[in-house]
Structure 1
Amino acid sequence: MKIKTWLATALCLTALAACGGGGSQSGASQPTQNSSQGEKTLVVGTNAEFAPFESRQADGKLTGFDVDLINAMAKAGNFKVEFKDQPWDGLFASLNNGDLDVVASGVTITEERQQTLGFTDPYFDISMIVLTPNNKKFNALDDLKNMTRVAVCTGQTGDLAVQKILGAQSPKIARFDTVPLAIKELQNGGVEAMVSDGAVISNYVKANGVDNVTINKVPEFGTDHYGFVVRKNDTATVTMLNDALKKIRANGEYDKIYAKYFTN
């Protein structure tokens, strides 16, 4: 009986080892290591409704400035990436619970976000704009206070900017899930203005032939910066991403990708 028991135990342990059953389950919170090639795989979360930074082509393939940039960084930095497309409002929670290693989704670096999240070096400069119908005069940010409804995308930088002007709980703020939805509401007369990132607004207006709106540049908004997001204090991933970003800036790959999306 002792011999049978020993054999059964040995077989069980062998099976577990072959299936990885005895391994650590902490892989969800750390980048996956590819031992055969020495490359790490980062799970990158994005919300593919923010062209030209991230969107889906007709065939379903992810595309955009952020996507191309991360892929180029992965090649330069000797790591791999796996993209996960999901709603914007769940990205940071997925990052913090370990389902994602990085968020690459046009995220503005703010002091408030830096309290709970880690950021890479800035990789893109952005300015907020105010979009209005052609028949609506706009001169300064204070004009928003006299409007009935102002459209923003929920949780994005435009939302935060308008909250500072109208108040966080103002009933004048009309929130939408995506930029296209907000702009369509503006075109339909449901709102008097829309506030969002200039590059995204300009891309949509140009790509869709929208000619009944005015893009108003607002110097008071200043310049913001996008960064890739990691968990707070994840210095290893930040260092890896920053090193890769420096490499593609130095070898000219960053400029090629920028020209693809932002040079007329």
Structure 2
Amino acid sequence: MKKWGVLILSLVLLFSLAVTGCAKNDAGAGGIVKVGTDAAYPPFEKQGGDGKLTGFDIELMNAIAKAGGFEVDIQHAGWDPMLDAVKNGKLDAGISAISITDDRKKVYDFSDPYFDAKQLILVPANSSVKSLKDLKGKRIGVQTGTTGEIVVQKTFGKTYQGIKGYDDTPAAIDDLANGRVDAVVADNGVVLEYLKKLPAGKFKKVEDPSFEPEQYGIIVKKGNKELLKKINNGLKKIREDGTYKKIYEKYFGPMQ
């Protein structure tokens, strides 16, 4: 009887540890939520030489988690790997200035919108370009898989030879600065950030009224309603208590 008692007790302990381990790894059951990002999109996210992630999205996600009562581990994954990892469940969520689109909503569940955005055109200061259509026949840099690429393709077609795709927007802007492309189309927050860093008076932004307004959202794997609820609750709380406003104004100045 003693041997059987020890065996039963051992099995109970092993079962308890297994359940506890599963709970810790389950983002919907109080575990650490693994969040992916593409840390090459300042001021939303960037990675320092020490590997530390900073930026608007990073601070926002941490604030959402704190207000929502869960922990996050934010990891730099890269744009396409991040999207694939959330889709396949290897990451629980993704935040990286991700525009909410109908096509993406077929693949992911989105949080409530957290940022209003639009596309801008970045060109040399002496450029005569006044709209996207003026870029016909010119070399246009875009980050592959982004809404910047989509709006250029809608205007000139997917087979337009002038589109040059990049893994990240900074690489496209570097090529613009070095004369390898004639313009870059990207989100307004990123373009405005780079205008501060580029040589004064050498480049300018162009606003095209045909560009439709966009909104950013946090993505989770399709069907993960429990995590989505936590994220939305946290976002709502930081909007109400002023935390969102404080983070926003740190990066973008007074809210309109």
CA spacing shift, 1:151–1:240, aligned 2, 3 Å: same
1:31 pairs with 6, 27, 30, which one?
27
2:100 pairs with 109, 119, 129, which one?
109
1:96 pairs with 87, 111, 130, which one?
87
Structure 1 position 133 matched with structure 2 position 129: no
d(CA) in 2 for partners of 1:9, 1:250: 54
**Equivalent in the alignment of 1:168:** 158
**Equivalent in the alignment of 2:222:** 232
What amino acid does structure 2 have at the position aligned with 1:174?
K
**Equivalent in the alignment of 2:204:** 214
**Equivalent in the alignment of 2:194:** 204
How much has 1:133 moved relative to structure 2?
1.2
Superposition TM-score, scaled by structure 2 size: 0.89
d(CA) in 2 for partners of 1:70, 1:102: 10
How much has 1:211 moved relative to structure 2?
3.6
d(CA) in 1 for partners of 2:104, 2:24: 25
**Equivalent in the alignment of 2:60:** 69
What amino acid does structure 1 have at the position aligned with 2:66?
K
Whether contact under 8 Å (1:205, 1:211) holds in the other structure is no
CA spacing shift, 1:44–1:210, aligned 2, 3 Å: farther
d(CA) in 1 for partners of 2:209, 2:35: 33
What amino acid does structure 1 have at the position aligned with 2:50?
D
Q: Deviations over 1:165-184 (max 9, x none)?
A: 11122221101112221111
1:241 pairs with 231, 239, 248, which one?
231
How much has 1:13 moved relative to structure 2?
3.9
d(CA) in 2 for partners of 1:248, 1:18: 36
1:143 pairs with 114, 122, 134, which one?
134
CA spacing shift, 1:66–1:182, aligned 2, 3 Å: same
d(CA) in 1 for partners of 2:125, 2:155: 23
d(CA) in 2 for partners of 1:85, 1:177: 14
How much has 1:197 moved relative to structure 2?
0.4
**Equivalent in the alignment of 1:36:** none
Q: Deviations over 1:167-208 (max 9, x none)?
A: 122221101112221111112211111100011011122134
Whether contact under 8 Å (2:195, 2:204) holds in the other structure is no
d(CA) in 2 for partners of 1:210, 1:15: 67
1:250 pairs with 237, 240, 250, which one?
240
Q: Deviations over 1:148-179 (max 9, x none)?
A: x1100111110111111111222211011122
How much has 1:85 moved relative to structure 2?
1.0
**Equivalent in the alignment of 2:143:** 153
d(CA) in 1 for partners of 2:67, 2:170: 34
**Equivalent in the alignment of 1:122:** 113
d(CA) in 2 for partners of 1:210, 1:245: 37
**Equivalent in the alignment of 1:50:** 41
Whether contact under 8 Å (1:145, 1:165) holds in the other structure is no
CA spacing shift, 1:110–1:32, aligned 2, 3 Å: closer
Q: Deviations over 1:135-156 (max 9, x none)?
A: 2211222112232x11001111
CA spacing shift, 1:208–1:13, aligned 2, 3 Å: farther
Structure 1 position 85 matched with structure 2 position 81: no
Whether contact under 8 Å (1:179, 1:201) holds in the other structure is no
Superposition TM-score, scaled by structure 1 size: 0.87
